[in-house]
Amino acid sequence: MKLCHVTIQTARFEDELDFYTRYAGLAIQRDMRPMGRNMVFLANEKGDTEIEIIQNADAADSGNVNLSIGFAAGDLDALHAELIEDGLQPTDFVSPMPSVRFFFVRDPAGVNVQFI
């Protein structure tokens, strides 16, 4: 069985789309906006697990301290600095063992995103 997608409903559709394309490097794979629906599927490339973003004006903060979405990042230090410069508040780096280093930041909908 393969994980197809993770869905995030948000009142901040454009901010959410910008976050995942800018910081996670995802690209739109399927775009429902031409059909009148603010809904997109993002992934690294076609066939990969996708992040589905749906506009929902009634969506509450999607944040859950016990849930996160993780991405492998290239230059963690540069990404961390960019997030701070852009006004986001990433956590300090965590390194539970010498070969592992990561941090978290909340996306515009409140979802915890881990960059490893």
Domain carrying residue 12 = 5-57+68-115
Q: Is residue 47 part of a domain?
A: yes
**pTM of the full structure:** 0.86
Answer yes or no: are the C-beta atoms of 68 and 114 closer than 8 Å: yes
Query: For residue range 18-72, what is the model confidence (pLDDT) as tens digits?
Result: 999 999 999 999 999 999 999 999 999 999 999 999 999 888 776 777 789 999 9
User: Total domain count for the chain?
Assistant: 1
Mean model confidence pLDDT for the chain? 93
Residue at 63 is within a domain: no
* CATH label of the domain that carries residue 87: 3.10.180.10
pLDDT at residue 1 in the model: 83
* Nearest Cα to Cα of residue 20 among 3, 48, 47, 40: 40
> Is residue 13 a contact partner of residue 53, using CB atoms and an 8 Å limit?
yes
Residue 27 located in a structural domain: yes
